[in-house]
Amino acid sequence: MRKCLAITGIMSAGKSTFSDNLARHWQDNSYNSTPLDIIEVDTLRRDTVISDNIQYSDLREHIVHEFGVEYSGNYYQLNRYSLSKKVFASKDSVNAYNELTSPFFKQIIKEQILETQNDVAIVWSHVLENSYQDIFTQNNLQGLIVFLTVNEQEHQKRILVQSQKEDGLPMELIIQRLEVCSSQNEKLELLARSHYPNLIFDSEKDNDFNDNIQDIISCFPYNRLGLSNRY
């Protein structure tokens, strides 16, 4: 049975950095016979809703009509700044956006999983939600959730760096996102109710990825799917 990690955490917690390092060291452990493929769902999601790919035009059209997002062209290529401003205006609008797009992005994840026979790490802030946990069982995967924490001062530094990137959102939009998205404590509460073993790593302290691999491997239930939390 293949292994599947849900690597999650708040914005700029270091999910991509952690998963990339984990993938490079994954086969250092004798229990791992195949490489670890990274599925960056946040990237897939962003590229899908701001692209002009005709395959996704119906979804983008629904988003335009629901939220009044600015767009261009016949295939509803969404304006990224308008999308962020409208969707992250409130928790209600974020919840409505997730409800509208969740079925589509669940399908994207499943398609990505089916394209590989390797172990997979799904990197996405929403993967803890109950509606996504059946992705593990439906694809015959052993599931484990890795949650990354980050202290407030370091988090603010990372947010500033994000806003200064050439393609980064303006600081005011990033702050708007932070105000309406789930806090770290809310995500930890959700993690405690998850149906899969989980680990919590401090993004600033747990930088020995070889040690992390050992910790992660020790939490995989080899005989059956785990139904209890593991910290």
The total domain count for the chain is 1
Tell me which residue range forms the domain holding 99. 2-218
For the record, the structure tokens of 127 come out as 């993967």
In this structure, is residue 229 part of a structural domain? no
pLDDT score at 161: 87
In this structure, is residue 227 part of a structural domain? no
In this structure, is residue 190 part of a structural domain? yes
Here the CATH number for the domain that contains residue 19 is 3.40.50.300
In this structure, is residue 225 part of a structural domain? no
In this structure, is residue 132 part of a structural domain? yes
pLDDT score at 223: 40
The 10s digit of each residue's pLDDT in 140-170 is: 888 899 999 988 888 888 888 888 888 888 9
pLDDT score at 162: 83
pLDDT score at 231: 32
| Residues of the chain scoring pLDDT < 70 | 221-231
Please check whether residue 31 is in contact with residue 213, taking contact to mean a CB–CB distance below 8 angstroms. no
In this structure, is residue 226 part of a structural domain? no
pLDDT score at 221: 65
pTM: 0.85
